Structure 1
């Protein structure tokens, strides 16, 4: 599974960058997440681990707010794009750091990409200092004005390896958590751009090649028009 995730993100750099350039969604999620983490721990700005840093969009946000930020990602090609902070190629199920190393661990749009988030959450608890804070964001979905899923009338469902409820439950197993939902207006074209990222198109067609899944995803979503709502769950927990 991890090899599949790595391969998916290795070929997603350009599309991921284009989506962020057009929407600013991942940097917005990182800013909002850091604000929630900072509201619950005054020491979060000491040293932050950006777990699942991708191309460094979230890393830049955290680096602007903290004394030191470490970017960790399983994809070497994604990490090549990180232009600041120490970069570590690794798996957040097996963090290559000593216990009590960080004041904050952030999973911005990353923890839902593993089949068992509880493993990564236990690792986050291990590397956090007492009183440290962990934060995660997971997609709930895209809905119409009537709160109806945009996939309700299509022949596919956009599924993460792990749903937002499972991500929240994993964090509840180790931390005292606070949660909420962020809602963003998004256009049909932005939804197609999101699923034009090979790693995200795998939500719809996981068994196809990167090129095939993107082609089918964009075709599937071609009938969408207008504006919709994108929903993300955020979860923040504090270590004892």
Structure 2
């Protein structure tokens, strides 16, 4: 499955960046997560591991933090990491469940829109605990879906549901197994057009049609979502924890 995820994101760079330019969603998630991490940190976050950095939108946020000296931008996709800007992070191609750091080397590990893509998030949570110092903090976000003004899920009336490889409940449970956690939900007003843009990213269209080739899955997603209109609410779970 890891090879599939890597290939999906290697094919997704341009569409991923186009969605981010339009919505700023991943930067916003990183800013909110960064604030939660710093609110719970007893020490300065000098070294932050951006676990699942993508093209670096989240790494830029963490690198701008007060007294942050180093951001290690880890991602399984080499093509995504090519977009990480100089000074925004030290890009390292690696799995988030095998982080390239020694024990206790990090002050924070942030899974901004990434832990729900891991086949076994409990393994990644244990790895985060390994690389964190005694006063370290961990944070993650996971999508809870899109909801109409009537409170109905956007996909309720469609033939497909948009599913993550790992559900938000599993993400929360994985972190609860290693950390003392606080959780909550962030809500964002968005448009039907941006729901379509999200699923125009090949890696995200795989939430709908995981067995199809990238171009075909994106086209099928476009056809499925074409009837959507108006505004909807996008919801994300956030989890932040300290070592037990």
Q: TM-score when scaled to structure 2? A: 0.97
Residues 167-198 of structure 1: per-residue CA shift (max 9 Å, x gap): 00000000000000000001010000000000
What is the match of residue 79 of structure 2? 77
1:231 aligns with 2:235: yes
What is the match of residue 42 of structure 1? 42
Residues 58-89 of structure 1: per-residue CA shift (max 9 Å, x gap): 00000000221110000000000001321110
> Which of residues 135, 152, 159 is equivalent to 2:156?
152
1:124 aligns with 2:128: yes
What is the match of residue 161 of structure 1? 165
Could you say what secondary structure the match of 1:223 adopts?
A: coil
Structural mapping, 1:172-183, within 5 Å = 172-183=176-187
State how far apart, in whole Å, the 1-side matches of 2:89 and 2:62 are: 10
Question: Structure 1 residues 188-197 or 40-49, which shifts more?
Answer: 40-49
State how far apart, in whole Å, the 1-side matches of 2:179 and 2:101 are: 20
What is the match of residue 53 of structure 2? 53
Return structure 1 stretches of 4+ with deviation > 6 angstroms: none
Alignment check: 8 A CA contact 1:44 1:133 kept: no
Instruction: Flag structure 1 segments of 5+ consecutive residues without an equivalent.
Output: none
Instruction: Flag structure 2 segments of 5+ consecutive residues without an equivalent.
Output: none
Work out the number of aligned pairs and report it: 240
> Over the residues paired in the alignment, what is the CA RMSD in angstroms?
0.8
Q: TM-score when scaled to structure 1? A: 0.99
Task: Quote the offset at 1:224 in angstroms.
Answer: 0.3
Task: Quote the offset at 1:44 in angstroms.
Answer: 4.7
Residues 198-224 of structure 1: per-residue CA shift (max 9 Å, x gap): 000000000000000000001100000
> Which of residues 186, 197, 217 is equivalent to 1:213?
217
Task: Quote the offset at 1:116 in angstroms.
Answer: 1.0
